[in-house]
Structure 1
């Protein structure tokens, strides 16, 4: 039985009564499936903005077990609150009706006595299991007329029943394809909605000769109706949803043969299924009944806001990839909380946490930037956060091995995106491997990373953004095999082990040296030098050109020490050096490196204990976003070399 569209104070359901009433929907969380198209009700792109449209979309997650469901599939999960408002689990926001379409709506105070399109009571949704219909009840005229038109409008909207319908989509068809169907339809049943008509005994030839048919394409599409409703054969994934108001005559006519809905819609049956109110395994009891859950009934789902919830980079899907072989990806974020190789201030073991915390305002659904002209999460590659490597803080030899084994484990996973990236040509096995953006950790972590990459690609070229050379020898005095590996010596060790090519380059160097001999020794490991001051004398475009020419077409690893940025802009680091590049200058240089053959990258030496207002963590997180964009962007696009302003001196 459909709920009538006139809600008065006497018909409101009290919270106590609503605890026992779910308006025909299952208690707790559920999905809503359109039986006709086998698509689910879906919050478009999992967005949370006011006005986000609600659509029908193919099912994103088939498992009905909580622990096995992907968090990003929550945009297809809903619940009903005490007022009958249909709410999205993903954001907790309610579903409203806007111009007959469904849209996400933040709750607002209701304007009395004249509700308007901006401020009004939310519609009540109910599910009729006998007909499979989802009915909608309004507290006021859903067209929200002006106060002067209220009296005239009252007599119309209250007499209608409102149902949820789908707008079918047709695959492209030609006039020739449809001509015979049009003629048959026109002869047997002229286009009349909910009205009477005369049957015709005329032949198709007679109809043509009489000039009664105009073969316009829109009319052909409009006439192709069957007893089941409008034809829906498009290959597009999306279907649109609208609320249709039916008069009593139209509602009655729906049960009669050859009667169909107006405006190219079709009344479809829905089924609702439990999705998250299931046991985690067969021998466990179901989750608590949401009808007895005061929080769910009053406020809805427990959503994660940008400043709350489990911590993953940019709220990406999080998985313990090292122990779960089923986790596959194209790009992984991997934390290496190691800082027992530092020579000055410790604290970089909290770097992965600091970078993830700095990324809280980032989301994969809002990853588009004007500078890159793209969203790295929308390029067809699967990007996930694989958590942190459990690293020993007591034994550096053990820690270095743990990092190498962890990186090698993830590098051995098959990449999901089979589109050629060009990197397979560099791999020893000729296969495409995933890429990893590592969150440090002090700079020592790059040695085990290069060892892992060497197993797959052989020697790689290194682009090194840093204030320091990191090719020094061990500290004076007695040393062990392990003590010679620090955050200032790892490139020397990597060079000695043959992990790098001879076409490497530093950028942003400005540290104090023992003498020019430090530079000469650095060159023996294949490094060219770009100093911090070169940005004033040469400009961004020339620096980009030098870096690109240096590494050429070889496989490239990019390592970014946060101390390349001036400590006034990124103070949270272990060995700060005055006079560094600005965050903006560094970001512009990174944009100019798109299209190189990157096999991996990192951001290291973030030590949150020395930060204030998270300025370093936010900058580091933004640079990680740039690295992801750099991996997936093609050469050209928003490249600073194409702008005349890039040659200006920046102070």
Structure 2
């Protein structure tokens, strides 16, 4: 891909990584909606959190530490900038205390970029932001498959009588017809719950739920095989709650649960997703104020780079296939 169409970042030989404006991986900052392969957006909203607040600073923290990342993925043997044309679109306007208006803004902004062909990669924020993202993307692509990494199912009906919190987005998404639960997977559920049969509610909605205990019993490779089989060839939204990881690897989050997964295990699982048709993704619940030595924000930024790498691999394959058919 030529320099005119690839995203460009300053070389470390000309500008140290700790300098410059804090966009994600020092991507060009382009707040105006335009045709791109992807856009990184911040959704700094945490009014819907049920315990610790502060994830509104997640996008800022992830962007800041992302300058540490280098541009090539050794595992996939790819440099995303050679295949993808993307930008950092900045933060979406949210209104603290007003969930409805903030969600409406997120939906409008994400939809505008998606209609231009960009795959939105959204940095949260609490997990309620995924619902308006799904509203936006389903209006463009139709009902989606959901691939959900989390310690919690987030399919409760309400919190304190409130229907729109970070514990309810995926029940609302099913009710609104935004996702196909029979093509969707929830991975990593663990920890205490309000009722012994809580996870059965998600299964009744149609989700394939693979708990942390089940994952350790069947193994991570089999877990991902089942997830990929479930998703098939459908269009996929990938949502990653940082509390999927054990607090030892991601202390900076609002509702931590022990007995989670390592950052290496999470990275390895994401790297198996090269065959999915990804149309949007987010990484949520990073809370920098409770982080230690920026390990949570660094992990979040690195996992977002894995999202970008998946898009690049898909673009590489598509480009190679088109070239092959044109010969």
> How much has 1:510 moved relative to structure 2?
0.5
Query: Out of 31, 35, 39, which is 1:320 matched to?
Result: 31
Distance 2:306 2:131 in 1: 23
Residues 490 and 60 from structure 1, CA distance in 2 versus in 1: closer, same or farther, beyond 3 angstroms?
A: closer
1:403, distance to aligned residue in structure 2 (A): 0.7
Find the counterpart in structure 2 of residue 560 from structure 1.
Answer: 240
Which runs of 5 or more residues in structure 1 are unaligned? 1-44, 46-57, 62-69, 76-89, 93-303, 414-432, 638-651
Is this contact kept in 2: 1:358–1:619, CA < 8 A? Answer: no
Residue of structure 2 equivalent to 1:273? none
Distance 1:442 1:328 in 2: 28
3-state secondary structure, aligned to 2:243: helix
Alignment of 1:444-593 (within 5 A): 444-476=128-160, 479=161, 483-501=162-180, 502-593=182-273
Please give the alpha-carbon distance, in whole angstroms, between the structure 1 residues aligned to 2:91 and 2:37.
Answer: 18
Aligned to 1:393: 96
Q: Which residue among 55, 64, 72 is the counterpart of 1:368? A: 72
Following TM superposition, by how much is the alpha carbon of 1:396 offset from its aligned partner in structure 2, in angstroms? Answer: 1.4
Does the aligned pair in 1 maintain the 2:9–2:25 contact within 8 Å?
Answer: no
- Higher relative contact order (Cα pairs below 8 Å, separated by 6+ residues): 2
- What residue is the counterpart of 2:321 in the other structure? none
Which residue in 2 is equivalent to 1:23?
Answer: none
2:197 alignment partner, SS class: helix
Instruction: Tell me which residue corresponds to 1:145.
Output: none
- Measure the CA separation in 2 of the matches of 1:435 and 1:73: 19
- Cα 1:625–1:59 change in 2 (3 A) is closer
Question: Where is the helix percentage greater, Structure 1 or Structure 2?
Answer: 2
The Cα offsets for residues 13-35 of structure 1, whole Å up to 9 and x where unpaired, read as xxxxxxxxxxxxxxxxxxxxxxx
Once the two structures are TM-superposed, the CA of residue 371 in structure 1 deviates from its matched residue by 1.5
Structure 1 position 612 matched with structure 2 position 292: yes
Q: Does 1:350 align with 2:57?
A: yes
Question: How far does residue 328 in structure 1 lie from its aligned partner after superposition?
Answer: 2.6
Q: 1:59 to 1:517 in 2, by over 3 A?
A: closer
TM-superposed CA distance for 1:409, in Å, is 1.3
CA distance in structure 1 between the partners assigned to 2:88 and 2:277 by the alignment: 22
Q: Structure 1 CA distance, aligned partners of 2:130 and 2:3?
A: 41
Match of 2:82 among 371, 378, 381: 378
- Relative to structure 1, is the Cα distance of residues 306 and 541 closer, same or farther in structure 2, using a 3 angstrom cutoff? same
Q: In the alignment, which residue of structure 2 is the partner of 1:95?
A: none
Residue 146 of structure 2 contacts residue 185 of structure 2 at CA under 8 Å; is this kept in 1? yes
Instruction: Give CA deviations for 1:99-148 in whole Å, capped at 9, x if unaligned.
Output: xxxxxxxxxxxxxxxxxxxxxxxxxxxxxxxxxxxxxxxxxxxxxxxxxx
- Structure 1 runs of 4+ with >4 Å offset: 58-61, 70-75
Give the secondary-structure state (helix, strand or coil) at the position aligned to 1:560.
strand
- TM-superposed CA distance for 1:595, in Å, is 1.3
Partner Cα separation in structure 1 for residue 300 and residue 4 of structure 2: 32
Pairwise CA RMSD of aligned residues?
Answer: 2.4
SS at 2:267's partner residue?
A: helix
Conserved 8 A contact 1:389-1:406 = yes
SS at match of 2:178: coil
Q: Which runs of 5+ in 2 are unaligned?
A: 318-327
Q: Counterparts of 2:49 and 2:97 in 1: how far apart (Å)?
A: 14
Partners of 2:206 and 2:100 in 1: how far apart? 26
Q: Distance in 1 between matches of 2:96 and 2:9?
A: 37
Q: Does structure 2 conserve the Cα–Cα contact (< 8 Å) formed by 1:60 and 1:73?
A: no
Q: Distance in 2 between matches of 1:73 and 1:376?
A: 12
1:562, distance to aligned residue in structure 2 (A):
0.2
Q: Is the 8 A contact 1:595 1:631 kept in 2?
A: no
Q: Distance in 1 between matches of 2:9 and 2:265?
A: 38
How far apart, in 1, do the equivalents of 2:177 and 2:3 lie?
A: 49
1:367 positional shift? 1.9
Q: Which residue of 2 aligns with 1:308?
A: 19
Whether the 8 Å contact between 2:65 and 2:301 is mirrored in structure 1 is yes
Listed as ranges, the matches of 1:56-205 within 5 Å are 72=8, 92=14
Q: Which residue of 2 aligns with 1:404?
A: 107
